[in-house]
Amino acid sequence: MTVPESAEGRPAKIEIAELRVSYGDVHALRGVSLPVHPNEILGITGPSGSGKTTLLRTLNRLNDRVRTARTSGQVLLDGEDVYDPEADVYDLRRRMGMVFALPTPLPKSIFENIVYGLRIAGVRDHRVLREEAERALRGAILWDEVKDRLHEPAMRLSGGQQQRLCIARTLAQRPEVVMLDEPCSGLDPISTLKIEQALQALKERYTIILVSHNVQQASRATDRTAFLLMGELIEWGPTAEMFTRPKDPRTADFFEGRFG
């Protein structure tokens, strides 16, 4: 299958072709083919159980850890097969960072949460660690709120701040792709707005994939939207077109709240 280039004529950052995933006898993804363009926010939406999280986990091979998972098809990152036996899975997960629905700060200070991965990678220079922490926190629109309390426990942050901390921790690894799985599902409207504002700024430097069952969020925070239903990719396209002129009646029914 030939995956379309981006609107600017550049090759897709990620090419997904005929991707199928099953857990035992349960088929979670059924032949999904989709390009992810550089420096865009791609929204993936659909009702619960449609395969949204499975798709994210498959892109950076988190499903390798699931004994019953079976995967076929192809995922290319910059033209390279992420399922190649010679692929460096740890580097892949650094290049394609993941932020989960539930904030998971470490039982450490705010600063140590951000630089944890850098320390694991062998970075010891405190000046470098400080600079990277500030860069990541600014990217997550959190710096101004925590710059005077970096050595306080991260657990003291609010839920919305903890989620932005997790985004900053991912950014500190200097990924190329940032994947977010329902990052605002438990947050108040103000925290949700701050995360959406952060994503709009971050797409200048990163490719972003945002999974959300919230169709209002998908409509306002993404450049393109893909609609999944029961493991099948029903359709995808520019967000404005998807929400005003969907091609499939199932898409219209979901966006208009008739199910899901």
Contacts of 47 (CB under 8 A, 6+ apart): 213, 229, 254, 259, 260
What's the whole-model pTM score? 0.93
Distance CA 191, CA 187 (A): 6
CATH number at residue 111: 3.40.50.300
Tell me 63's DSSP state. G
pLDDT value of residue 2: 45
Type of residue numbered 37: H
Range of the domain at 84: 14-255
- Give the residue among 111, 103, 117 at the shortest CA–CA distance from 162: 103
Task: Copy the structure tokens of residue 108.
Answer: 């450490």
Pairing of strands 224-229, 41-45: parallel
Number of structural domains the chain divides into: 1
Task: Evaluate whether residue 97 is within a structural domain.
Answer: yes
Task: Evaluate whether residue 173 is within a structural domain.
Answer: yes
Pairing of strands 14-23, 177-181: unpaired
pLDDT value of residue 86: 95
Tell me 4's DSSP state. P
Task: Evaluate whether residue 212 is within a structural domain.
Answer: yes
Low-confidence ranges of the chain (pLDDT < 70): 1-10, 260
For CA atoms 62, 65, 66, 69, the dihedral sign is positive
3-state secondary structure 84-96: CCCCCHHHHHHHE
Task: Evaluate whether residue 106 is within a structural domain.
Answer: yes
CA-CA distances (angstroms) from residue 111 to 12, 57, 122, 148?
35, 27, 16, 11
Task: Evaluate whether residue 260 is within a structural domain.
Answer: no
Contacts of 121 (CB under 8 A, 6+ apart): none
Contacts of 5 (CB under 8 A, 6+ apart): 11, 12, 35
**Is 88 exposed, middle or buried (CB count within 10 Å of its CB: 0-12, 13-18, 19+)?**
exposed
pLDDT in tens, 121-164: 999 999 999 999 999 999 999 999 999 999 999 999 999 999 99
Task: Evaluate whether residue 227 is within a structural domain.
Answer: yes
Contacts of 195 (CB under 8 A, 6+ apart): 160, 163, 164, 167, 183, 184, 187
- Give the residue among 219, 214, 193 at the shortest CA–CA distance from 141: 193
pLDDT value of residue 9: 61
- Give the residue among 200, 132, 143 at the shortest CA–CA distance from 170: 132
Distance CA 94, CA 121 (A): 11
Task: Evaluate whether residue 94 is within a structural domain.
Answer: yes
Task: Copy the structure tokens of residue 135.
Answer: 């860069």
Task: Evaluate whether residue 82 is within a structural domain.
Answer: yes
